[in-house]
Amino acid sequence: MRPSGRAPKQLREVSISRSFTKHAEGSVLIAFGDTKVLCTASVLERVPPHKKGSGEGWVTAEYGMLPRSTHTRSDREAARGKQTGRTQEIQRLIGRAMRSVFNLEILGERTIHLDCDVLQADGGTRTAAITGSYVAARDAINHLLKTGVLKQDPIIDSVAAISVGIFQGKPVLDLDYPEDSSCDTDMNVVMTGKGGMIEIQGTAEGAAFSRTELIELLDLAEQGITELSKLQTQALK
């Protein structure tokens, strides 16, 4: 029995609100249950040094948690003067996931900068961030297509992410905080709308996991991402 009463294969309620703030080219508030992440996509007419003069663009991401998005207050990273290893790991993951569905040549020498800020955390912030970032990026690119800055669509597929894990000996989908903090194995899976695997990160928190468990977790993740892809499509209508 899951603490939330959900069935093992059941996602939390997911909501995707576009145009949540007004300045960004794409601005999405995504909620996976009580986890709420604001994902904005900014179009910058410049690229980082390693892309200068290449004719190609760049897609990158930054991630942060508001200090009291968590159960107890965490230090503000800006005040501490550096981002934690966890933050850097997550923002690198979001950036790789988003780049996997972009043709950087068609994007041209500009950057899509995603900012994922967690307003409220209840487990699964990185998967919500990736799923919401795709919608924000889609909106930003649509804006560039509409205004004629881009003639061709640089986005080649959609992308979404979900967590799965072994909780009390049983594979479950979309871990919330009470599950995440006491599960044995925790796995984040990133897949495209067409079903290609982009990233899989599984970690044994307690006991090691077996090949059989891994397969079960992947099945669950695939089902969850199929649902998320549909929700992304609906939200973008």
Kind and range of the H or E run holding 180: helix 177-180
Report the residue from 46, 52, 92, 230 that binds a second copy according to the rule CB under 8 A: 92
Give dist(CA 228, CA 237) in Å, integer. 14
Tell whether residue 120 is a contact of a second copy (CB under 8 A).
Answer: yes
Report the residue from 106, 145, 200, 231 that binds a second copy according to the rule CB under 8 A: 200
Report the residue from 197, 226, 227, 231 that binds a second copy according to the rule CB under 8 A: 197
Tell whether residue 199 is a contact of a second copy (CB under 8 A).
Answer: yes
Query: Least distance from C-beta 72 to a second copy, angstroms?
Result: 8
Closest to a second copy by CB, 192 or 229: 192
Query: Least distance from C-beta 153 to a second copy, angstroms?
Result: 18
* C-beta atoms surrounding 142 within 10 Å: 16
Give dist(CA 183, CA 235) in Å, integer. 31
Span 44-63, contacts to a second copy by CB under 8 A = 44, 62
Give dist(CA 133, CA 130) in Å, integer. 5
73 carries a ligand binding annotation: no
127 carries a ligand binding annotation: no
Q: What angle, 0 to 180 degrees and rounded to 10, lies between the N-to-C axes of helices 125-146 and 85-99? A: 40
* C-beta atoms surrounding 20 within 10 Å: 17
124 carries a ligand binding annotation: yes
Query: Least distance from C-beta 69 to a second copy, angstroms?
Result: 7
Place of tokens 């800020």: 117
Give dist(CA 93, CA 88) in Å, integer. 9
Is 104 strand, coil or helix?
helix
Tell whether residue 106 is a contact of a second copy (CB under 8 A).
Answer: no
Tell whether residue 30 is a contact of a second copy (CB under 8 A).
Answer: no
Closest to a second copy by CB, 89 or 105: 89
Give dist(CA 216, CA 188) in Å, integer. 13
Which structure tokens are listed for 218?
Answer: 């992947």
Q: What residues are paired with 173 via a beta bridge?
A: 164
Interface contacts to a second copy, rule CB under 8 A: 21-24, 27, 34, 36, 38, 40, 42, 44, 62, 64, 66-73, 76-79, 81-83, 85-89, 91-92, 96, 100, 113, 115, 117, 119-121, 187, 191-192, 194, 196-204, 207-211, 214, 218
